[in-house]
Structure 1
Amino acid sequence: MTDLTDFIIHAYKTIARAMAEAGVNADLFKQPEMIPKTVKRRVSAELKRLAVLLRRLIFLMALQVELAPVKPRPGSNYFEKSEGEPEARKAVFSVLPVPAGEAPDFLRGPLIVPTRGPVPAAPLIARWEAMLDTLKHAKRRSKCLARTIQRWKAESKARPYLAPIPKTYAMPAALGIVSGALTVQLTQALRDWPPADTS
């Protein structure tokens, strides 16, 4: 496999800058209680696009990781109660695609009348912070994903399909270049994936 260190560093910096700008331009770092609905829609769309790029970057990083043999570790009891107050829940950014679930609410018809005016900013801030945290710990996340990829290959799972990212022409030039290059690099890196067991 070719050495992609320079490209990964460049892509990481470009995505990190775009992610920071998305939050800073909407003043999410000020932790507002309410934001206009138009701002929420614009930032949500930007974060959704950046999430795809971030997942692809971490996947490419995971394909570059050379894994040592797994060391056995002691088990833990999930049901054992711990002392003190429970920890506050934190939003988590999943590196793997989410499996299909129930149909979204909008397909079932309106359950409540949509509100006008400002909307709560907390969910959007939590999502932005989760993506920033994932970016901060990208090496650790890619190592965990490398173990998952190793398991997929051992189980003869089908090679992941990379769909082209829509509307790359509407992205800023730096992000559009990184987006196209990530797709090309991932396609080349997945060429040595073993064929799926169809028996």
Structure 2
Amino acid sequence: MTANRDFLDEGFRAVGDGLLRIVDRASLHLQPLALTKRMRRRCMAGMRQLTLILRRLLFLLALSIVLPPAKPRHRSGAACPDGVEDVTATFRAPVRGIALVPGLSGAFPERLRSLTRVIVSGPVPAAPVLARWAALHRILQAPDAHARRLAQTLRRWRLRGEPRPLVAPLAGAHRFSPALGLVAAVLPVHLKRALEAWPDTG
């Protein structure tokens, strides 16, 4: 765990440094109301890259966390009538900021995304960029707490017999800074080793 912890700390530091470069480039610390379209595209593209690496770092950290035994949940209320299924266990509270695990529906196809946009000329609102910055910063301030919540999700996946997650190399790693590129290149190796203990349901 010590070697992994050292690597994780370096990874979180590299993501934080990358975020600071984006903030400085766009002067986000001045809380602008608007950005040029080009600057907003550059900021969001850079933050998406950081988000991908951060998710994998949290995933690796979550796999190393040993949780106490789960407490049995006591169901309250009357039993459902025959032919009625209780689906309340599948409800999930909305998560503000950045989702640490992908949703079941998958991402919206990029080729269709342009059909949902309203073409705006001139400066565009900076609010989405500021919100993404705040979400990333919040996670970087307390990665262990976020990883612990993710570890609970992973435990539920194991109990349900979900297949072992596959971790593919990150595309476009050549565009990262040297520090981020090194973290992105080594992450799949650490994750593959950490996932060896995952029950093979295949």
Q: 95, 99, 109: which one pairs with 1:94?
A: 99
Structure 1 counterpart of 2:51: 51
User: What is the TM-score with the length of structure 2 in the denominator?
Assistant: 0.81
Structure 1, 131-140 or 110-119: larger mean CA deviation:
110-119
Alpha-carbon separation, structure 1, partners of 2:134 and 2:148: 21
Q: 190, 194, 200: which one pairs with 1:189?
A: 194
What residue ranges of structure 2 are gaps of 5+ in the alignment?
Answer: 76-93
Q: 1:108 to 1:27 in 2, by over 3 A?
A: closer
CA shift for structure 1 position 111: 6.1
Contact 1:91 1:127 in 2 (8 A): no
Alpha-carbon separation, structure 1, partners of 2:99 and 2:43: 19
Q: In structure 2, what residue type is equivalent to 1:128?
A: W
The equivalences for 1:60-139 within 5 A come to 60-70=60-70, 91-100=96-105, 107=112, 110=115, 114-139=119-144
Structure 2 counterpart of 1:28: 28
Alpha-carbon separation, structure 2, partners of 1:35 and 1:160: 38
Alpha-carbon separation, structure 1, partners of 2:15 and 2:96: 20
CA shift for structure 1 position 147: 1.1
Structure 1, 65-74 or 32-41: larger mean CA deviation:
65-74
Alpha-carbon separation, structure 1, partners of 2:109 and 2:182: 33
Partner SS, residue 4 of structure 1: helix
Structure 2 counterpart of 1:84: none
Residue 136 of structure 2 corresponds to residue 143 of structure 1: no
CA shift for structure 1 position 99: 2.9
- Greater helix fraction, Structure 1 or Structure 2: 2
Alpha-carbon separation, structure 1, partners of 2:47 and 2:69: 36
Alpha-carbon separation, structure 2, partners of 1:28 and 1:190: 38
Partner SS, residue 144 of structure 2: helix
Q: What RMSD over aligned residues (CA atoms) do the two structures have, in Å?
A: 2.7
Q: In structure 1, what residue type is equivalent to 2:32?
A: P
User: What is the TM-score with the length of structure 1 in the denominator?
Assistant: 0.82
Q: 1:109 to 1:68 in 2, by over 3 A?
A: closer
Structure 1, 107-116 or 63-72: larger mean CA deviation:
107-116
Q: 1:34 to 1:91 in 2, by over 3 A?
A: farther
Alpha-carbon separation, structure 2, partners of 1:111 and 1:57: 32
Runs of 4+ in 1 over 2 A off after TM superposition: 69-75, 98-113
Percent identity (aligned): 35
CA shift for structure 1 position 179: 0.5
Alpha-carbon separation, structure 2, partners of 1:43 and 1:14: 17
Aligned residues: 184
Structure 2 counterpart of 1:152: 157
Alpha-carbon separation, structure 2, partners of 1:61 and 1:112: 37
Alpha-carbon separation, structure 2, partners of 1:112 and 1:56: 30
Contact 1:92 1:130 in 2 (8 A): yes
What residue ranges of structure 1 are gaps of 5+ in the alignment?
Answer: 76-88
